[in-house]
Amino acid sequence: TIFKAQRYKVWEGDLRANDTITISITYNVTLTATSWKMNASTSGSVDDVPPEFHYYMDEEWLISPRQVANLSAEIVGEETDVYTIIKYIYRWMRKNIEYRSEGADLRPCLETLDSGWGDGDDQAILFASMARAVGVPVSVVVGPVYDPDEDRWSTRMWNNVLIPLEEGGLQVATVDVAMGRFLFRDPYRITQWVSTGDGDDLKGIYDGWSYSYGYPGKIPLVSSTESYQTLRLRTEGEVKV
């Protein structure tokens, strides 16, 4: 089914108490690496961002540009071109926010900032907050990412940045602060969902799933686990950054 421009899988059926159901979905995908060759001279300014994308600069669930506005302004200074702004914020976070995978729950941007550490999801929330605070439209992306060293998949967050171009037009590019990806998308990630600017949507996709029930008695206790398995993997070529 399609809801708010996103595709969802829906299962309908009957389950008794203590029943378990396994739902398997197989993806056949071809993934490629993309590197955006940009600099300050090819980037437009924050004033070139079309009004229809301004909702990607607003407050959202856990994303709070207002709370980090002073710090973002200090980092960016007088710069107005979008490329330089996101580069400064990216470099600041790489230097000052430590990557740790110990957090279980997604944290508000200010909590990650105050603690000085966060996992990939936390850092995506903080980057979105800091960039939005200085006029850059940033969305949050959710999807499975493959680790070739450990041969495992995990669902995580990263960012898409909307960059107006000096010559006209717009470019959407990837930034993943925690993994050190600046305007580079590695060939090991699948986009499942891109934030709509609606905080309820972001919270819902982070929870991963929802359910409804028809039994008129007590509310059922339902839990789920999600895992990925590589059935076949083939790589070709080399990536030069």
Model confidence at 207, pLDDT cuts 50, 70, 90, reads low
Per-residue confidence (pLDDT) for residue 149, from 0 to 100: 86
Q: Is the pLDDT of residue 200 over 80?
A: no
Per-residue confidence (pLDDT) for residue 47, from 0 to 100: 97
The percent of residues above 90 in pLDDT, for the chain, comes to 58
Comparing 220 with 183, the larger pLDDT belongs to 183
CB 197 within 8 A of CB 108: no
Per-residue confidence (pLDDT) for residue 2, from 0 to 100: 58
Q: Is the pLDDT of residue 192 over 90?
A: no
CB 21 within 8 A of CB 11: yes
* Choice among 80-89, 136-145, 204-213 with the minimum mean pLDDT: 204-213
Q: How far apart are the first and last CA of the chain?
A: 38
> What's the fold here for domain 2-207?
C8orf32 fold (3.10.620)
What tens digit of pLDDT does each residue of 14-24 get?
Answer: 877 788 888 78
**E strand or H helix at 92, and its extent?**
helix 82-96
pTM here?
0.85
Q: Domain extents for the chain? A: 2-207
